Chain A
Amino acid sequence: MKAFAHLVKTLDGTNKTNARVAALAAYFREAPDADKVWAIAILSHRRPPRPVNTRLLREWAAELAGIPLWLFEESYHIVGDLAETIALVAPIKQGPAGGTPSLARYLEDLIVLKGQPEEAKKAYLQKQWQQLDYYERFVFTKLFTGGFRIGISQKLMTRALSLATGIDPDVLAYRLMGGWDPSKTSFRSLVLEPQEEERDSRPYPFYLAYALEGEPEALGDPADWIMEHKWDGIRAQLIVRNRNLYLWSRGEELVTPSFPEFQALRDALPDGTVLDGEILPYPRGQVGSFNDLQKRLGRKTISKALLKNVPVILRAYDLLEWQGEDLRQQPFLNRNRLLTTLVAPLAGDPALPLDLSPALEIPGWDAVHKERGRSRDWRSEGLMLKKKDAPYQVGRKKGDWWKWKVAPLTVDAVLIYAMRGHGRRSNLFTDYTFAVWDEKTDGQRELVTFAKAYSGLTDAEFREVDAWIKKNTLERFGPVRSVTPTHVFEIAFEGIARSNRHKSGVATRFPRIVRWRKDKPIEEANTLADVVNLIP
């Protein structure tokens, strides 16, 4: 644990990506194998389930610090990170008896702790908090709280591991994907050895597109390119191997249980097939709202009602494996021809939740502009431009795949609630709730909330809004403050649908702040009627 805490401290101590990767690589060279496996697991969000809920963590930490719970909560709102708050308020360590146990040992403890009575958990945690020093305490507690975000993406971790082992990063990305259990895997079998067993379930690393900056004309000859619509669903790989079907989301999560209807494809597709595509909500034979799709995720069981109300399809656009052969190095056009031959006959069968994303030839760049203009009619987010001769690459790479989204929808809305942010925005009010005017039939109007957004302003603007919020707070509800309606912001979003998440009865997708409309008085903000008119 000492070495891992020291690593986190070093990572905290530099801004430079290369220095961060070097520090992590050094850890991967020096740490004991069992710790390395756990470090990989933690940095790729494969922690064991939490043995203690955060409410208890807060109560026990407040008790240890000798402060009332409300004071702990206030501190937490300001610090912005629970593990950091606990590490800060707990009394300074008295000096441990003997050395600090290893990272792997702590994770074994954590797994065992899950089945222990509450009193045992409390005694364990309070003892550790007292024995560990600040950084160890922070890292230790992080294992018990939310996501372990320390500014190391999976991509950077893979790079560091590659530096430490000399294994190609793409090979490592493949080996680290899928469902492995850090308590049952050795560093040798996970990282160093080519893997045969369990390979059936393994997806390929997704190839991700960059957003096109500027106009498509810059891409050269349109005859070298294909356009497709960009679908607003869950990016997924559907795998059929050895008579089993697996479904992976882009977040490298196995989501097979959330979508039982895809089992119908197990018999329709031959072994050794991997499709890349988009899971789309598909009520009444057309693309539905992304919000509905989210209801299908993260549930242990999918009710019949949900299956009926939110039916889904996989809209396939790439074929990564065919007859057990990895096709990724083949040109896109070849893969697409094979995909069409495979999927087109199945797409007509109403019992099979599968269709094909049309790959359109581009006669000239004006056709691309025209097609992008039709995106909302297709219920797509815009276009994808793919180079005909491009292989299927690993991760986000520039050059062969571009996404060119439609211009977002925008609304001028009034800031009415604010919360403190997290991470580098902790202690600043940067998470805002915006409202629009609901005009009643009797001519009265009131502000109703319609979206939350926390990005799009510069640091200087955030500071200005933050200072204003602190001076213009009307009421406090825990971490939330209501403020005098004064400021109008232009809010952009990708889509909008009916929902009961906000008082306005609508929900937006990817809302963010475009600009602070200092020129607009709140009376000139948009109305709910304007917003509802945007719903397709």
Chain B
Amino acid sequence: MKSPLLEFTEKGIYCPPADVYLDPWKPVDRALITHGHADHSRPGHGHYITHHSNIPILRHRLGGLSARGLEWGESLRVRGVRFSFHPAGHIVGSAQIRVESRGEVWVFSGDYKTGVDGLSTPFEPLPCHTFITECTFGLPAFSWRPQDEVMGEINSWWARVKAEGKTAVLFAYSLGKAQRLLAHLDPSLGTVFTHGAIENMNEVVRGLVPLPPTRRITPETGSGELAGNLVLAPPGAHGSAWIRKMAPFETGMASGWMAFRGARRRRAVDRGFALSDHCDWQGLLDSISATGAERIICTHGYSDILSRYLREQGFDARTEATQYRDEDGEPEGELKPGEPS
């Protein structure tokens, strides 16, 4: 039996004939990177190869590094193996990696979603023999509503909070979710203020796609200026002294996990908005069948559940362990010590 085109090793997903890694979690010489989130693009690799939009994001997060950027669909040949990057629709620059050798095609999804978010290049399914899919929300309990509907809810929440003379504080992951929200918040309601971590990322993303204007919160920003306006902040800022200075305010959070009442209560936010940059259950199933792949490898998320279901549907499906955020891991922000249980 010939050896597989991609293997799961303790350093990451490895391509033996080309001697390169895909989104490795330990330092390696040559890494192909799907996107800029911390669990997929780690520090310490010798050389980074990725879609060119990701390079400024990687440099912002990881500092100076040796990197090569490719266009969508542009081929890179390494020892007879052909690699190319294709849109994954997850965040700006996010890619799937297509790997082809001697007529056999594997696709590694990285993180992806099927809906169109208006910022990232939309996901396109790629015909392949083996599809490596994430399963972050691989449960039938996840079923996203259209972005317009959720953004409508967020904007009406802002309008109501504004009418009550308060500040709307919206928590969102700094890279991806924050910019997506920003692009669809209703500018007629007021000014969008940003936490420094988000504004730093906005500055990077503005070099790639246009974003509406924002104002960075500085020590000089008075709470009077914030009333009626909206503050975008990373989840880690929840409960901090930085937030408390904005009183009176209401809190909201935008994340796929907010589909669960338990998760909303655990976060102790006033409002949870189920808005995700990953596929829901049906999105995963539709994407998998659109690839035409017979062999499916399920990685991070509800991988055991999705692979069992796929096997029942006649796929050759299995689970592989990775070090991308693991099952249930609510990747979009962490709880902090000291929150009451």
| Contacts from A to B (Cβ < 8 Å) | 12-16, 65, 67-68, 70-72, 74-75, 78-81, 84-85, 88-89, 92, 151, 422-428, 455, 457-460, 462-463, 466-467, 470-471
Check A13–B270 contact: CB distance below 8 A: yes
Check B338–A75 contact: CB distance below 8 A: no
Which residues of B lie under 8 Å from residue A458 when comparing CB positions?
337-341
Which residues of B lie under 8 Å from residue A467 when comparing CB positions?
326, 329
Check B264–A12 contact: CB distance below 8 A: yes
B299-341 vs A, Cβ < 8 Å mask (1 yes, 0 no): 0001001001100100000000000001111000011111111
Among candidates B139, B269, B328, B341, residue contacting A470 with C-beta atoms closer than 8 Å: B328
Check B260–A426 contact: CB distance below 8 A: yes
Q: What's the least CB distance linking B89 to chain A, in Å?
A: 22
Query: What would be 5 A-B contacts, judged by CB atoms less than 8 Å apart?
Result: A65-B140, A80-B262, A81-B261, A425-B262, A457-B341
Roughly how many angstroms separate A83 CA and B94 CA in the complex, as a whole number? 36
Check A89–B262 contact: CB distance below 8 A: no
Among candidates B262, B270, B336, residue contacting A460 with C-beta atoms closer than 8 Å: B336
Given A70-B308, A78-B141, A458-B338; 9 other pairs, CB 8 A cutoff: A68-B309, A74-B139, A75-B140, A79-B260, A424-B262, A425-B262, A426-B261, A458-B341, A462-B341
- B263 interface contact, C-beta 8 A: yes
Which residues of B lie under 8 Å from residue A427 when comparing CB positions?
260, 262-263, 328
Q: A89-B140, A89-B141, A422-B262 are in contact. Are A68 and B312 (CB under 8 A)?
A: yes
Q: A12-B261, A470-B328 are in contact. Are A459 and B141 (CB under 8 A)?
A: no
Q: What's the least CB distance linking B272 to chain A, in Å?
A: 8
Which residues of A lie under 8 Å from residue B139 when comparing CB positions?
74-75, 78
Check B261–A71 contact: CB distance below 8 A: no
- B11 interface contact, C-beta 8 A: no
Roughly how many angstroms separate A92 CA and B309 CA in the complex, as a whole number? 21
Check B338–A423 contact: CB distance below 8 A: no
Check A460–B328 contact: CB distance below 8 A: no
- The 7 A-B pairs at the shortest CB distance, nearest first, are namely A426-B262, A424-B265, A460-B337, A88-B141, A424-B266, A75-B141, A459-B339
Check B326–A463 contact: CB distance below 8 A: no
Q: Of all chain A residues, which has the CB nearest B145?
A: A92
- B70 interface contact, C-beta 8 A: no
Which residues of B lie under 8 Å from residue A81 when comparing CB positions?
261-262
Check B335–A463 contact: CB distance below 8 A: yes
The secondary-structure label for the interface of chain B is loop
Q: A455-B341, A458-B337, A467-B326 are in contact. Are A79 and B141 (CB under 8 A)?
A: yes
| Contacts from B to A (Cβ < 8 Å) | 139-143, 259-266, 268-271, 302, 305, 308-309, 312, 326-329, 334-341
Check B259–A88 contact: CB distance below 8 A: yes
Check B338–A71 contact: CB distance below 8 A: no
Q: What's the least CB distance linking B186 to chain A, in Å?
A: 20
Q: Of all chain A residues, which has the CB nearest B334?
A: A463
Q: Of all chain B residues, which has the CB nearest A423?
A: B262
Among candidates A70, A425, A455, A471, residue contacting B326 with C-beta atoms closer than 8 Å: A471
Q: Of all chain B residues, which has the CB nearest A75?
A: B141
Which residues of A lie under 8 Å from residue B141 when comparing CB positions?
75, 78-79, 85, 88-89
Roughly how many angstroms separate A65 CA and B269 CA in the complex, as a whole number? 30
Which residues of A lie under 8 Å from residue B268 when comparing CB positions?
15
Q: What's the least CB distance linking B215 to chain A, in Å?
A: 27
Roughly how many angstroms separate A72 CA and B139 CA in the complex, as a whole number? 9
Q: Of all chain A residues, which has the CB nearest B327?
A: A470
Which residues of A lie under 8 Å from residue B335 when comparing CB positions?
459-460, 463
Check B338–A460 contact: CB distance below 8 A: yes
Check B140–A71 contact: CB distance below 8 A: yes
Among candidates B262, B265, B326, residue contacting A79 with C-beta atoms closer than 8 Å: B262
Check B260–A14 contact: CB distance below 8 A: no
Which residues of B lie under 8 Å from residue A466 when comparing CB positions?
328
Q: What's the least CB distance linking B24 to chain A, in Å?
A: 19
Among candidates A12, A88, A426, residue contacting B143 with C-beta atoms closer than 8 Å: A88
Which residues of A lie under 8 Å from residue B269 when comparing CB positions?
15
Check A13–B271 contact: CB distance below 8 A: yes
Roughly how many angstroms separate A72 CA and B262 CA in the complex, as a whole number? 18
